[in-house]
């Protein structure tokens, strides 16, 4: 998965992304859980959480490049039979303050990696959110 992210395209091949992984049960995992809001509390069950960071202050293309790398990672995870769920809402400042990230790396998104769990054991509130219908845009392309 990381190799797929490494080969993602980037502006001038600068590859302004860095990934930190945290394993379930580790001290870092406990710290990271304190940075995640309640509605994403399903993620402690994931065996691996990845903190996707960009380098420095970030230029316009930096976010685009990081997104391409994350998408490559997610697609490779799916190809390997894993599920990857991205989260943008977490306390990025606290992550940077409490985990040993390089000072030039800015957390941008979290990615939970794992297999689908047993729906019999899932928190009923989380299951209700998962079953909530989600719509997609219909008009993505317009001729001008």
Token output for 62: 């930096």
| Backbone phi and psi for residue 50, each to the nearest 5 degrees, phi listed first | -115, 130
pTM over 0.75: yes
Domains of the chain: 2-118 (3.40.109.10)
Residues 113-137: tens digit of each pLDDT:
999 877 777 777 777 777 778 788 8
Q: In terms of residues, how long is the chain?
A: 144
Token output for 133: 């219908």
What confidence score (pLDDT) does residue 6 get? 95
DSSP helix/strand/coil, 111: strand
Rounded CA Rg of the chain: 16
Residue 86: name the closest of 115, 106, 112 by CA: 112
Percentage of the chain modeled with pLDDT above 70? 99
Map tokens 């190799």 to a residue: 3
What confidence score (pLDDT) does residue 97 get? 96
| Backbone phi and psi for residue 118, each to the nearest 5 degrees, phi listed first | -85, 115
Cα four-point dihedral sign 134, 39, 48, 131: negative
Q: Residue 112's beta-bridge partner residues?
A: 49, 85
């Amino acid at each position: 998965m990381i190799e797929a992210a490494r080969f993602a395209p980037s502006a001038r091949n600068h590859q302004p992304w860095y990934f930190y992984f945290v394993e379930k049960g580790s001290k870092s995992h406990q710290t990271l859980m304190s940075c995640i809001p309640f509605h994403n509390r399903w993620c402690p069950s994931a065996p691996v959480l990845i903190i996707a960071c960009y380098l420095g202050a970030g230029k316009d293309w930096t976010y685009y490049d990081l997104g391409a790398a994350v998408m490559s990672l997610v697609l490779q995870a799916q190809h390997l039979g894993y599920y990857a769920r991205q989260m943008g809402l977490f306390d990025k400042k606290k992550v940077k303050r409490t985990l040993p990230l390089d000072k030039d790396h800015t957390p941008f998104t979290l990615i939970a990696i794992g297999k689908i769990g047993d729906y019999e054991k899932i928190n009923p509130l989380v299951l209700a959110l998962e079953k909530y219908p989600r719509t997609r845009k219909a008009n993505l392309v317009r001729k001008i």
